[in-house]
Amino acid sequence: MILPRLNKKIQYIGSLGGAQKQKLLSRASCVLFPSIFNEPFGLVMVEALACGTPVLALRNGAAPEVLKGLPQLLCRGTNEMANKIKDLSKLPNPYTCRKYVRTHFSDVVLTNRFIALYKRIIHHH
């Protein structure tokens, strides 16, 4: 179903990592995350935002939690996602995307959250 739709604008690139992934994500206008799987976290969304690229995601799995501070990126379905792509100016700019990741998902922030969680668990038990 996808192969006939590939062209110069829509290409299959395959699996990427490291600098190649960062370069691709940082040059993208937007990342689509139409997953219907109940993702337990959604690292792809955080990686894209860290590169300054907004992510349009369906309201499944961890997407509502990961994108809580950027609710305009959550979509009720693929039709809404397609409509949002038509006006990318309404999506967060690269600075806002990167700042959001630093504020919510940096190593320091996540470490402090884990320590607080461990303390609550230890205190509770």
pLDDT at 3 exceeding the cut of 90: no
Average confidence (pLDDT) over 25-41:
91
Please provide the average confidence, as pLDDT, over all residues in the chain: 92
Ramachandran bin of 42, using left for φ above 0, alpha for ψ from -120 to 50, beta for the remaining angles: left
Tell me the pTM.
0.84
Residue for token digits 């604008």?
Answer: 9
**One-letter amino acid identity for 97?**
C
Return the closest-CA partner of residue 24 out of 7, 8, 11. 11
Sorted by where each starts, the structural domains of the chain and their CATH numbers stand as: 16-124 (3.40.50.2000)
Residue 57: CB partners within 8 Å, gap ≥ 6?
33, 34, 35, 42, 45, 63, 66, 67, 73, 74, 75
